[in-house]
């Protein structure tokens, strides 16, 4: 959540920054007023508590002196003040809870370089890459046999069975078969192997407590997009960012340990509640998909390098896979609640003639760490860590782009060579090998 101390110290700065994200000034004025009321009630409660404690000491002294009348009088005063203290404490806690609920709904302050905008149409393209670009090759054109959507390719090769997936779990739950299933597994192994030089591999739970989901900012604001198991107080994770952010929740880390770099491959679950009738064919928008995540706890000074490293690793994977892609700096209206800056990576998929998002790399500042209470020791005390994360990569859309990009005229798919160690004899997918 945002820094309440900064809001008290620089209210106009914070309000101006959040106005860029559509947060009305009167909302922040109400938060400021609530904070003032909470602090006043806290002072009253603490004052009354101190008076009760002082009177209790005097009662004890009067009883030791066998001054029964004084002890009785002071006890009555203490009881009255105790009632007042309980009322003040309840009011303080009530206002404090309301203040926290408001703060949980307020997005992060955007970085100064984040462009203004309402939605994805206002995102700013940074650059593109395609095979041979460095040697002067023009933006690729695709043959007719590549302009076949992946759902048709997958059906023809017997590697994607959407009907079976729907029978098992409902629509938007794909079922991969044979070489299609092995391709998903191979992509994860390929990515994890590439990160092993600097990132510790984690295999976290795919369910998380409400407090864990709140630490990243997914709750309470995005509850409609999450799958919850109400009976057990658990949520299916939408990304490995969730468990990785809370691995050190409540801890104080040694600064010498930072940055701590982690990676995890998990299933990811999203309700896609606003996706009705939009991009729901094939695997473009699904309720469950596999993804490799990169994550870093770092100091503020390390955060830019951590961001650049995750972005470079995601780009490297796409280049090694030979996929055409572009980078977009997200505008204020398209960023996730917790992000201060986000760059999306999108691949071009010729069969659907579209750019498909396959990664988001985000810097969160101390927004998530304030919720999770992850700190590190400094020479002057403790400070909140910064968190950075990004996908490397989300496989459903990469899977689709690979099938469409590498489809051959005879209908087979010849995958890029970097996947050969993982796919083996199935690196060329035909109807007979699948």
Query: Could you tell me if 248 and 297 are in contact, meaning their C-beta atoms sit under 8 angstroms apart?
Result: yes
pLDDT in tens, 77-97: 888 998 999 999 999 999 999
Query: Could you tell me if 208 and 214 are in contact, meaning their C-beta atoms sit under 8 angstroms apart?
Result: no
pLDDT in tens, 406-433: 999 999 999 999 999 999 888 999 997 7
Quickly list DSSP for 312-353.
HHHHHHHHHTT--EEEEEPPTTTS-TT-SEEEEEEEEETTTT
Beta carbons within 10 angstroms of residue 67's beta carbon = 14
Quickly list DSSP for 23-74.
--HHHHHHHHHHHHHHHHHHHHHHHHHHHHHHHHHHHHHHHHTT-HHHHHHH
What DSSP element (H or E) covers 306?
helix 303-320
- Chunked into runs of 10 residues, the chain (434 residues) has average pLDDT values of 96 97 96 97 94 89 88 88 92 96 96 96 98 95 97 98 97 96 98 98 97 94 92 96 98 97 98 69 96 98 98 98 98 97 98 97 98 95 98 98 98 97 92 77
Q: What is the mean pLDDT of the chain?
A: 95
CA distance 248 to 251: 5
- Look at residue 433 in the predicted model and tell me its pLDDT: 73
Predicted TM-score (pTM) of the model is: 0.93
Domains detected in the chain: 4-104 (1.10.287.40), 120-429 (3.30.930.10)
Number of H helices and number of E strands within the chain?
A: 13, 16
280-296 core/surface letters (b: 16 or more CB in 10 A; e: else): eebbbbbbbbbbbbbbb
- Look at residue 379 in the predicted model and tell me its pLDDT: 87
- Look at residue 405 in the predicted model and tell me its pLDDT: 98
């Amino acid at each position: 959540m945002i820094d309440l101390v900064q809001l008290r110290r620089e209210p106009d700065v914070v309000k101006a920054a959040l106005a860029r994200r559509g947060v009305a000034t009167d909302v922040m004025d109400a938060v400021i007023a609530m904070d003032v009321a909470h602090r006043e009630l806290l002072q009253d409660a603490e004052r009354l508590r101190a008076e009760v404690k002082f009177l209790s000491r005097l009662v004890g002294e009067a009883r030791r002196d066998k001054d029964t009348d004084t002890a009785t009088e002071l006890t009555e005063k203490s009881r009255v003040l105790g009632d007042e203290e309980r009322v003040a404490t309840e009011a303080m806690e009530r206002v404090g809870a309301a203040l926290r609920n408001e703060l949980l709904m307020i997005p992060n302050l955007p970085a100064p370089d984040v462009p203004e905008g309402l939605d994805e149409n206002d995102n700013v393209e940074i650059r593109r890459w395609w095979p041979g670009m460095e040697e002067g090759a023009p933006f690729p054109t695709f043959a007719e046999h590549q302009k076949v959507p992946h759902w048709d390719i997958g059906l023809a090769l017997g590697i994607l069975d959407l009907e079976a997936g729907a029978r098992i779990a409902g629509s938007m739950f794909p079922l991969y078969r044979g070489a299609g299933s092995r391709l998903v597994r191979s992509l994860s192994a390929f990515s994890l192997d590439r990160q092993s030089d600097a990132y510790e591999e984690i295999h976290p739970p795919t369910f998380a407590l409400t407090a864990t989901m709140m630490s990243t900012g997914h709750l309470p604001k995005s509850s409609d997009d999450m799958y919850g198991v109400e009976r057990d107080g658990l949520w299916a994770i939408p990304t490995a960012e969730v468990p990785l952010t809370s691995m050190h929740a409540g801890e104080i880390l040694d600064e010498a340990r930072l940055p701590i770099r982690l990676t995890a491959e998990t299933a990811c679950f999203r309700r896609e509640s606003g996706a009705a009738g939009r991009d729901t064919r094939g695997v473009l928008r699904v309720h469950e998909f596999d993804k490799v995540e990169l994550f870093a706890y770092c100091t503020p000074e390390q955060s830019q390098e951590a961001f650049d490293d995750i972005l470079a690793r995601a780009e490297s994977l796409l280049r090694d896979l030979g996929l055409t892609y572009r980078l977009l700096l997200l505008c204020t209206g398209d960023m996730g609640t917790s992000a201060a800056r986000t760059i999306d990576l999108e691949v071009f998929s010729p069969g659907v003639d579209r750019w498909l998002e396959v990664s988001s790399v985000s810097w969160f500042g101390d927004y998530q760490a304030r919720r999770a209470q992850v700190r590190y020791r400094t020479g002057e005390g403790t400070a909140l860590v910064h968190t950075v994360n990004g996908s490397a990569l989300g496989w459903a859309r990469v899977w689709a782009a690979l099938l469409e990009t590498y489809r051959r005229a005879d209908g087979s798919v010849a995958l890029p060579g970097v996947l050969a160690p993982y796919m083996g004899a199935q690196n060329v997918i035909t109807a007979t090998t699948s």
